[in-house]
Amino acid sequence: MLESVLIANRGEIACRIIRTARRLGLRTIAVHSDADADAPFVAMADEAYRIGPAAASESYLRIDAILEAAQRSRAASIHPGYGFLSERAEFAEACQKAGIVFVGPPASAIRAMGLKDAAKSLVEKAGVPVVPGYHGERQQPDFLRQKAYEIGYPVLIKAVAGGGGKGMRRVDKQTDFDAALESAQREAQNAFGDPRVLVEKYVLAPRHVEVQVFADTHGNVVHLFERDCSLQRRHQKVIEEAPAPGMTPEVREAMGRAAVEAARAVGYAGAGTVEFIADGREGLRADRFYFMEMNTRLQVEHPVTEEITGLDLVELQFHVAAGGRLPFAQEDLAVNGHAVEARLYAEDPEKGFLPSTGRLWALRLPEGEGIRVDTGVEEGGLVTPFYDPMIAKVVAHGATRDEALDRLSQALSETIVAGPKTNARFLRALADAEGFRAGQFDTGFIDRHLEGLGAVARPADPAAIAAAALALVDREAARITDAAVARGEVLSSPWWQDDGFQLVGARSQGLPLSVDGERLDILIAHEDGTARIGVPGRPMGEGEHEVSLVEAGEAMIALADGRQTQVALHDPFAVDLDQLGDGSGAVKSPMHGKVVTIAVSVGDRVEKGQRVGVVEAMKMEHALTAPVSGVVSEVAAEPGQQVAEGARIVSIEADG
């Protein structure tokens, strides 16, 4: 067994690797950016080394900085986790040249499977079915557009490098092809340093089923069964499960054999995942699945495989990297029950799943029978805009699929996160969704059911506002009282009262609040020594459901029915200059992030809804559009600039 390991990653996967490594007796070494200096994974490791500023391009993607830390720490091996450098052949080669064991496949296998076009050609020769499409070298827009026409819409544009949904766009008609191609190429360049794409037929009613493979350096290759990852949004996996619903022994044998042959074709070693797309219109069939790609690394969703097999995949990775043989054959493996994983993200489903950042004022993750939680954050920590927005992976295991989903739903209902908005309520709605429970789903399920899943804009919860407002009023009254007592003053004068004194009727007063950043005026009524809050849309004093409160600095976060509402006393001196009625339309950044492009200049004419720029945050691009028709009067940001949530990017002088 290896003596030590440097984890070239961060967050929950770094914590995950450290736990197994320490159990095996390995000395653990963390590397971190400035943004992660106080992160839990840094504290967990035996040693930690700074490798650069917050931006991944200046830290976690720097091979030289990571190898320098490995040399300083005398690391025997490097585990890349997933993402970042995990599928970079040059990183595996650099480790080998430095005399450090790379806990992953050989560089030749990474390179062979790293480009989707070459990978498809390779596995096709090995008899593995592939999706029809153009996987060649030519990248001229006119040529690719023609190929898309020949393939027949809808088509899928996919980056040839990388994965995780980056550089991937579905196109339903030819008039949308050019814009989708440009966006996919730009995102691919930013994410992988390679703008090349392929174009293939979009499979209708697609099911995303992947097979976990494992190989050693002695020629042994097995599969550890399949995972269904069809519940996706923007090609990003949301809920994954194992085994796949509706899987038959015949299809499992065919998929498993294809996955093993794909691994053999590149001389694979270690943990890998062969991803297939299946036409789900008639259920899973042995003649209707196609190779998509191979991920030459550990997958985010590997815990569900661990739960149904009883194996520790990270331990197996270390075992194989140290030259060991697989301790089992294919016939020794069996499926035990069902497991499902939900990715708890810092994002707001009610605002198009925009990434959400900020301090975790409260964090309570579930526990219980059949529940596993992998996380890399803790209460009081920060969710920054620099990396993936994952807070935790919540995994449930049960004897049956229904039991696993019931446990997942209950676990999500017990999850409390205050600070960044999260998708916890959305995930629970997914776990309970009738179609998903019945196994009637494909990769378009979420998009078709957004409203029923609660992923649409809704007004703030009046009961939550009222509860938070009352707490704020009580806190301010206590502060005034404490300050007066500290000065030795006696609060006996009627002028000290804060109960809205008036001669006739119940005493009341107005109070301006800031609710999720928007001003809202409420009414406080005082009667018989009790304060009651009146909020627009809610009768005075009425309470619809239980509300929990968390202090967040000067604000109060109200948690109710799986949603959170941030309430603060309105600051009359915090004036938004864009709202002063000067006739301009402000285009603001919807979240902390980096400006990728600005598509307009001062003096340009724009129409309402026209794209004026793109902001990237947490590895995803978000288009900025004109709120009004008019003329651009100001461009306040430039490509490459980091901007805060709400920062003005472009100003438009509206018509009329």
**pLDDT tens-digit map of 52-78:** 999 999 999 999 999 999 999 999 999
Please check whether residue 298 is in contact with residue 210, taking contact to mean a CB–CB distance below 8 angstroms.
Answer: no
Distance between CA atoms of residues 632 and 430, nearest Å: 42
- Within 10 angstroms of residue 479's Cβ, the number of other Cβ atoms is 10
Q: Within 13 A of 130's CA, how many CA atoms are on the CB side?
A: 22
What is residue 125's predicted lDDT score, i.e. its pLDDT? 86
Is 615 within 8 Å of 556 (Cβ atoms)? no
DSSP 619: T
Which CATH number fits the domain 4-103, given the four candidates 3.40.228.10, 3.90.1150.10, 3.40.50.2300, 3.40.50.20? 3.40.50.20
Please count the helices (runs of H) and the strands (runs of E) in the chain. Answer: 16, 37
Q: What is the pLDDT of residue 537?
A: 67
Give the C-alpha distances (Å, rounded to integers) separating 234 from 98, 341, 531: 39, 18, 47
CATH code 3.40.630.30 for 106-128+204-334: no
Strands, DSSP E only, in 161-269?
Answer: 168-171, 197-201, 206-215, 221-233, 236-242
Residue 54 Cα distances to 36, 445, 638, angstroms: 8, 36, 20
Torsion sign, CA atoms 183, 187, 189, 195:
negative
Domain 132-201 falls in which CATH fold? Dna Ligase; domain 1 (3.30.1490)
Q: Quick one: fold of 337-457?
A: D-amino Acid Aminotransferase; Chain A, domain 1 (3.30.470)
Please give the structure tokens belonging to residue 169.
Answer: 């766009």
From the number of C-beta atoms within 10 Å of its C-beta (0-12, 13-18, 19+), residue 627 rates as: middle
Query: Whole-angstrom Cα distance, residue 185 to residue 199?
Result: 12
Q: Where are the domains of the chain?
A: 4-103, 106-128+204-334, 132-201, 337-457, 462-569, 577-654
d(CA 490, CA 487): 9
Instruction: Given the residues 10, 62, 169, 297, select the one marked as catalytic.
Output: 297
Q: What is the mean pLDDT of each run of 10 residues along the chain (656 residues)?
A: 95 98 98 97 98 94 98 98 95 97 96 82 86 89 95 93 80 95 91 89 91 97 98 92 96 95 94 93 88 93 98 98 97 98 96 91 97 97 90 98 98 96 96 96 94 92 90 85 77 49 56 89 75 72 76 94 91 52 69 85 89 79 86 90 84 85
Q: What is the pLDDT of residue 576?
A: 47
Judge whether 136 and 117 are in contact, CB under 8 Å: yes
Q: What is the pLDDT of residue 592?
A: 76
CB 31 within 8 A of CB 6: yes
Q: Is the peptide bond before 243 cis (omega within 30 degrees of 0)?
A: yes
Q: What are phi and psi of 329, to 5 degrees?
A: -110, 170
Q: How far apart are CA 503 and CA 485, in angstroms?
A: 28
**How much is the pLDDT for 115?**
76
Residue 252 parent element (H or E):
helix 249-265
The answer to whether residue 611 is catalytic is no
Query: What does the pLDDT read at residue 593?
Result: 81
Architecture of domain 577-654: Beta Barrel (2.40)
Same fold, 106-128+204-334 and 337-457: yes
Query: What is residue 583's predicted lDDT score, i.e. its pLDDT?
Result: 45
Dist CA 325 CA 321 (whole Å)? 10
